[in-house]
Amino acid sequence: MTDFTVPRARDLGLPFPGQPGPWNAITDVAGVRVGFCTLTDPARKMRTGVTAILPRNDAGVPIPLRAGHFTLNGNGEMTGTHWIDDSGQFIGPICLTNTHAVGAVHHGVTRWMIRHYADWFQGQHAWAMPVVAETYDGVLNDITALHVTPDHAQAALDVATSGPVAEGSVGGGNGMIAYDFKAGTGTASRCVSVGGQEYVLGALVQANHGRRPWLRVLGVPVGDAMPKGAFQTREQGSIIVILATDAPLSALSLRHLARRAALGIGRGGTPGGQSSGDIFLAFSTTAPDSRPDPDSPLLLRLELDDAAIDPFYLAAVEAVEESVINAIVAGEDTPAIKPEGLVVPGIDRAALAALFAVRA
Identified catalytic residue from 28, 137, 246, 278: 278
Active site residue 238: yes
End-to-end C-alpha distance for the chain, whole angstroms = 35
Q: How many CB atoms lie within 10 A of CB 360?
A: 6
CA distances from 322 to 53, 97, 124, 125, 197 (A): 19, 21, 43, 43, 24
- The question of whether 305 is a catalytic residue gets the answer no
296 flagged as catalytic:
no
Separation CA 193–CA 199 (nearest Å): 6
Q: How many beta carbons lie within 10 A of that of residue 115, not counting itself? A: 13
List phi, psi (to 5°) of 149: -120, 165
Indicate which residue of 238, 250, 284, 323 is catalytic: 238
CA pair distance 248, 5, nearest whole angstrom: 35
Active site residues: 238, 276, 278
